[in-house]
Amino acid sequence: MRLKTKLLDYQVKGVKFAYRNYWTMIGDEQGLGKTVQALALIGLVEGQRNIVVCPAMLRDTWKHEIRKFIPAMSDKIEIISYSKFTSRRHEKYDVIIFDEAHYLKNKDSKRTQKVWDLVSLLPPRFLLMLTGTPIKNHILEFYSPIMILSQCPFDSNGKKWQGGYYKFAKEFTNHSVLWKFGRYVNIYDGCKNLTVLKEYLRGKYIRRLAKNTLELPPLIRKEVWATDERLDSKLEEAWLDYKGGGAFPTLKADCAVKKAKYTVEYVDGLLVEGPVVVYSDHRQPVLDIVEGLTGKGHRVGSILGGTSERQRNHYINDFKEGRIQCLVLTIGAGSTGLTLIQSNHMVFNDYPWVPADLQQAEKRIHRIGQNKTAFIHYILIGEMDQKVLGTVTEKAKLLGEVSNGTRLET
């Protein structure tokens, strides 16, 4: 079954990798067309029972892509949210696609446990996991996908992991024991034995980077200073609490709320150049920024955790068609599954402290189809804000080297 598009060379290689090895993960960087590779696999298999499991907010996106690229298979591809997939009676499938597969990174979550059970009881012929961020914050996030893919009923996708989580942790991270909170705590940090890890990933995992596959325009990051020493001191307290394993969100959110007024003024001036995408890691700043920009006469839309699918799609279409000038989103609700290349300017009122979440958000405007230099603007309230941003981006670089293969000697 042919797609109504011509695949790029690296996409053809991805489809062949998935078809040859049966149970695999495509971890291509955001914006490289993982969806179309998944649809090409379904078309190649030509099975009668295929299912896409994705976050609820991406169901309409998948429907659109199926109609666009492989309409003849529309009635043979079911699209369902993770929650519905794990709560209903399971069936036998030819192909199962798990989109945004980092949703399955937590080995202890009911969602992950249910998926493990379902695919082992009634294994599909092909299983394909898709994610632009295979590891978001820690190398141990590789454990769950390796365990799922190790259940492949065929000897097609390489060496299978036989041990448990703690064996995996001791094998591939630096283990230490600390006395903390009145008890001994096991700490698993950093990474080691990556050539061994590579053996378990071979045949299961493939990842390509935009810089190696596409001629994207430059991406430039700018630090915008709105100095407030009092807020910067609060941010330092929140960061130290976070590093110590404490409950940091209240202090961090408070700083983000107070930064919103600076962001409104900055975005107000930036909108003269064209449409702008704005992010916050918290809900209230989004509401405040929308109110501030609307008060200045701008047409603004917002996407938060509670935004309905219908309203979400309405705002996205309005932004793409120019009916609104600015789209303001929370990281949790809008850092994945969106293409917002109508804008080449993105502003972070505040940023997530999970490195991959930051990278995912940036890729909304720096991806296939962008033909202008992309600018990422960070609103910073002081030196601590700058220091934390530097720490997060450096960690993102390290984790990126692991997931991209650099540290795996590929």
Q: What is the pLDDT of residues 83-139, one digit of tens each?
A: 898 888 888 999 999 998 988 988 888 899 988 888 888 999 999 999 988 887 788
CATH of the domain at 362: 3.40.50.300
For residues 220 and 194, membership in a common domain is answered with no
The answer to whether 319 and 342 have CB atoms below 8 angstroms apart is: yes
For residues 191 and 222, membership in a common domain is answered with no
For residues 377 and 395, membership in a common domain is answered with yes
Q: Decide which of 176, 193, 212 is a domain's last residue.
A: 212
Q: Decide which of 157, 190, 212 is a domain's last residue.
A: 212
Rounded Cα distance, 248 and 85, in Å? 33
DSSP 8-class letter at 76: G
Look at residue 410 and tell me if it is in a domain. no
The dihedral sign for the CA sequence 268, 270, 273, 275: negative
Place of tokens 């298999």: 45
Look at residue 312 and tell me if it is in a domain. yes
Q: How much is the pLDDT for 409? A: 42
For residues 222 and 207, membership in a common domain is answered with no
For residues 327 and 390, membership in a common domain is answered with yes
The answer to whether 181 and 142 have CB atoms below 8 angstroms apart is: no
Query: Tens of pLDDT along 162-195?
Result: 888 889 888 888 888 777 667 777 777 778 888 8
Look at residue 245 and tell me if it is in a domain. yes
Q: Decide which of 180, 212, 244 is a domain's last residue.
A: 212
For residues 330 and 189, membership in a common domain is answered with no
For residues 146 and 285, membership in a common domain is answered with no
Look at residue 1 and tell me if it is in a domain. no
Q: How much is the pLDDT for 400? A: 74
Could you tell me the two tokens for 399?
Answer: 């984790």
Place of tokens 């994945």: 336
DSSP 8-class letter at 8: P
Strand partners, 206: 26
For residues 84 and 220, membership in a common domain is answered with no
The answer to whether 358 and 338 have CB atoms below 8 angstroms apart is: no
Cβ-Cβ contacts under 8 Å for 116 (sequence gap 6 or more) = 147, 148, 151
For residues 198 and 294, membership in a common domain is answered with no
**Alpha-carbon dihedral 122, 123, 124, 128, rounded to 10 degrees:** 130
Alpha helices, DSSP H only, in 179-337?
A: 194-201, 210-213, 229-243, 249-270, 283-295, 309-320, 331-334
Rounded Cα distance, 348 and 325, in Å? 16
Could you tell me the two tokens for 99?
Answer: 């989109």
Q: Which H or E element spans position 44?
A: helix 34-45
Average pLDDT, consecutive stretches of 10 residues, N- to C-terminus, the chain (410 residues): 84 96 92 91 92 86 88 90 86 93 88 89 94 82 91 91 88 80 74 88 91 85 85 83 66 88 92 94 95 95 91 93 95 88 95 87 90 92 88 81 61
For residues 284 and 197, membership in a common domain is answered with no
The answer to whether 267 and 296 have CB atoms below 8 angstroms apart is: no
Note if the pTM is more than 0.85. no
Look at residue 409 and tell me if it is in a domain. no
Closest CA to 249 of 238, 259, 258: 238
Q: In what order do the strands lie in the sheet with 219-225?
A: 219-225, 374-380, 345-348, 276-280, 326-330, 300-303
Q: How far is CA 347 from CA 55, 239, 279, 280, 329, in A?
A: 25, 21, 6, 9, 11
Cα 183 from chain centroid?
34
What is the count of structural domains for the chain? Answer: 2
For residues 40 and 182, membership in a common domain is answered with yes
Could you tell me the two tokens for 2?
Answer: 């042919």
For residues 190 and 328, membership in a common domain is answered with no
What does 191-202 look like in DSSP terms, one character per residue? ---HHHHHHHHT
CATH of the domain at 122: 3.40.50.10810
Q: How far is CA 401 from CA 139, 173, 221, 292, 410, in A?
A: 11, 15, 20, 40, 11
Look at residue 4 and tell me if it is in a domain. no
Domain that holds residue 186: 9-212
The answer to whether 62 and 147 have CB atoms below 8 angstroms apart is: no
Look at residue 170 and tell me if it is in a domain. yes
Look at residue 307 and tell me if it is in a domain. yes
